[in-house]
Structure formats: structure tokens, C-alpha cells
Amino acid sequence: MLSTLIADFRIIFERDPAARNWLEVLFCYPGLQALLLYRLAHWLHLIGIPFIPRLISHIARFFTGVEIHPGATIGRGVFIDHGMGVVIGETAIVGDYTLIYQGVTLGGTGKECGKRHPTVGENVVVGAGAKVLGNIQIGNNVRIGAGSVVLRDVPADCTVVGVPGRIIYRSGVRVNPLEHGSLPDAEAQVIRALVDRIEQLEQQIQHIQQPQQKVLVPFVNSSFQTPHIRDSQMLNDETSSETRTCCLLENKVIEEFLDGSGI
């Protein structure tokens, strides 16, 4: 227990550049205070003490704005930054050295019994306002972008953004946990692809509405050495093939977005 409390205290100095001295951290960091009270409530919960653990949790919520059910399992070195509005449910499991920002919910999706809250791996970053709901598995070293809503399992070493959450980055290389805000915008990419598609369709409609014109193309036939006439549509074969290739790539982006990109 003592080693866990020390790890909870030290991780703040590693991940928060605003932490200057131990006195400030101990008295002015609600995330740390909520964890300290949770550790006490969790221990009482494990030995079967009724009512008191929930009362401690309620008092911690009143003073810190962080609600952690005594039945939740939280590893060592977890840092709840700022803390206001964080909710961690009864059957949630949070791995070691996880970084949780304000407004995060590790909650359930219904009134089912048993394991109904997420299991979060080690070294996970959960961005501000993110919601991780249901009995799902979040792998190690995952980054969840601010405001995301995660409803499905996420494998290790991935970055998830959006509503619902979608995997937009996979890598075995660990990233700086403080850079959770520098994430690509999957929604913007799909909207851009759709806008490009609309522009292409509008151009095709305008081309169809125009009267077909014949153009002279001065190429020489190997048999008769005389010029031939080709329809203007034949001149656009190469352009149309490039357009089809572009459309296939955009289709892939849109399909991955609608399908959840692997989550």
C-alpha cells in the first residue's frame, strides 16, 4: 500500500510541469486527494465493511469532484489531472501509470449485473471529456482523444478518436503521453473526401449536359497513313482512370470510417 501511494505521488512530478513542490501537490491536487481517499475506501470495501466505503467515496466526490466507486480496481502510479467530473464505475479496472484528464467517464451502458465497466491497460492516456463505456478492453499504451466515446475493444498501441471512437493510428512505438491533443481529425478527412466526391459528380453532370463534340486528332494510322476522328470522350480515358483510382481511395477512407476502422 505504501509503495502504491508513493508511486501515485511521484508520477505527478513526472507528468505535470506545473508541480513544483510536495506541499503544493499534496494539498492542491484533487486527483491525488481523490486517489488517497479511494485507496482507503477500497481497502475497507475488500474486508467487507458496509456503508463506510461509499460514504468516503461520497465525501471525496464532494471535495474533489472525482467519483471513484470503492469496488473499482486502480493500479499504481495513476494520475488524474485536474480531476473535476471524473467518474470511475464499480467494476472498472485501471492499469498502472494511466493518465486520466478531467471529465472522463469509465462507465457502464445499462443495468446488467457483473462486470459492466471497462478494463483499461497500462500507460493509457484518456483525454479530457472522453467516455469509455461498457465491459470492453482497452490495451496498453492506447491514447483516447479528448471528447471521444469508446464502445468497443481497442488493441494495444493504438490511438482512438471520434464519436463513436475509431482507431486512426496503430504503432508499437510508445508516444509522449502529454501529446494527447495532437491527434488527426478522422471526421474532417471523411468530410473532405465526400466534398471532393460531390465536386467530381457535379463536373461529370455538367459534361453530360453539354452536347457531344467531335474533335480532330492528328494521329497517323500505321496501315493507311491518314488522320482519324475520335470522340472527345475517348480523349478523357486517362483522366477518368485517374479519377476512378482517386474514388477507390476515397471509398476506402469512407468505408473505414463507417465501419469503425477496426474497433
- Among 87-91, 157-161, 252-256, the least confident range: 252-256
pLDDT tens digit sequence for 91-147: 999 999 999 999 999 998 877 788 999 999 999 999 999 999 999 999 999 999 999
- The stretch 158-182 carries a mean pLDDT of 70
Strand order in the sheet with 158-161: 79-80, 99-100, 125-126, 143-144, 158-161, 166-170
Give the separation between CA 179 and CA 160, rounded to whole angstroms: 13
Q: Is the pLDDT reported for residue 42 higher than 70? A: yes
Q: Is the pLDDT reported for residue 229 higher than 50? A: no
pTM for the predicted model, two decimal places: 0.68
Q: Is the pLDDT reported for residue 251 higher than 70? A: no
Beta-strand pair 93-94/73-74:
parallel
Q: Kindly give, in sequence order, each residue whose CB lies less than 8 Å from that of residue 250, ignoring residues fewer than 6 positions away.
A: 193, 196, 197
Q: Is the pLDDT reported for residue 235 higher than 50? A: no
**C-alpha 245: how far from its chain's center?**
30
pLDDT band at residue 204 using 50, 70 and 90 as cut-offs: confident
Domain edges within the chain: 2-179, 186-259
Give the separation between CA 61 and CA 77, rounded to whole angstroms: 20
Higher pLDDT, 169 or 208: 208
Q: Which three cell numbers stand for residue 21?
A: 513542490
pLDDT of residue 105: 95
pLDDT tens digit sequence for 72-88: 999 999 999 988 999 99
Give the separation between CA 155 and CA 139, rounded to whole angstroms: 5
Q: Which three cell numbers stand for residue 226?
A: 491518314
Of the ranges 92-96, 234-238, 241-245, 249-253, the best mean pLDDT one:
92-96
Name the superfamily (CATH) of residues 2-179: Hexapeptide repeat proteins (2.160.10.10)
Q: Kindly give, in sequence order, each residue whose CB lies less than 8 Å from that of residue 109, ignoring residues fewer than 6 positions away.
A: 116, 133, 134, 151
